Every structure is written in C-alpha cells, then in structure tokens.
Amino acid sequence: MTQFVIRPERQGDIQAIGQVTKAAFAQAAHSSHTEHFIVDALRREGALALSLVAEEAGQVLGHLALSPVTLTPQEDAWLGLGPISVYRRGADGGSHCRGQKSWC
C-alpha cells in the first residue's frame, strides 16, 4: 500500500488544491460551493498560516488550511481551521483513511 505524505503546499499544488476543494464540497448541502475561492483569497492575502496537502503517489488527495481569526479585540491570536478537503473514494467515502490517522 502506498503511504500518504503530508507536506506544506507548493506553488505547483494550487490548481490541485482548488480541484480537491471543489470536489469535497460539491454535494454538501451546507455549502455555498465557494470554499475554493476562500482558500484562493486567503492565499492571495498572505493569510494562510498553514496550508498542508496530503499526497499519494504524487497526486494531491487532500488539503487543510489554517488562517488567523480574531474572536474579540482582546483575543486576536487564534487560528481558524478550514476548509478541510479530501477526495472521496469508494462507497464508504473513508476507505482510504484507514490506518492514516495522521491525516484522516
């Protein structure tokens, strides 16, 4: 079995991150289907404190973003998690995650 590699995003990952983000939220009833635009806007503004991809055999299969958020003027050192995007595989949608607790 090929192992996942989790690493910081690279310039060459941007298109793949957009694709996995669109796919992950495509059927989500709670989504306005703009998550990929949100990630792009955060990146453009330099507001991605952390942007990681999960990669298997050179293919981006998932993405996780952290960005600064302010809860109140006195509480401004927080990070917001999301969007988190993973390609769905198989009928159960999580078969690729078994044994990969570091990512899924």
Q: Are the beta carbons of 90 and 96 closer than 8 angstroms?
A: yes
Global pTM reads 0.82
Which residue do the tokens 């090929």 mark? 2
Confidence band for 1, pLDDT divided at 50, 70 and 90:
low
Tokens matching residue 84: 């988190």
Rounded Cα gap, residues 47 and 90, in angstroms: 34
The larger pLDDT score, comparing residue 92 to residue 80, is at: 80
Prior bond of 83 cis (ω within 30°): yes
Q: Is the pLDDT of residue 62 over 90?
A: yes
The answer to whether residue 82 is domain-embedded is: yes
Out of 18-22, 51-55, 60-64, 70-74, least confident range: 70-74
Closest C-alpha to 18, from 72, 92, 83: 83
The answer to whether residue 45 is domain-embedded is: yes
Domain that holds residue 89: 5-97
Q: How many domains does the chain fold into?
A: 1
The answer to whether residue 104 is domain-embedded is: no
pLDDT in tens, 36-54: 999 999 999 999 999 999 9
CATH of the domain at 56: 3.40.630.30
Q: Is the pLDDT of residue 84 over 80?
A: yes
The answer to whether residue 103 is domain-embedded is: no
The answer to whether residue 23 is domain-embedded is: yes
The answer to whether residue 102 is domain-embedded is: no
The answer to whether residue 70 is domain-embedded is: yes
The answer to whether residue 61 is domain-embedded is: yes
Rounded Cα gap, residues 71 and 3, in angstroms: 37
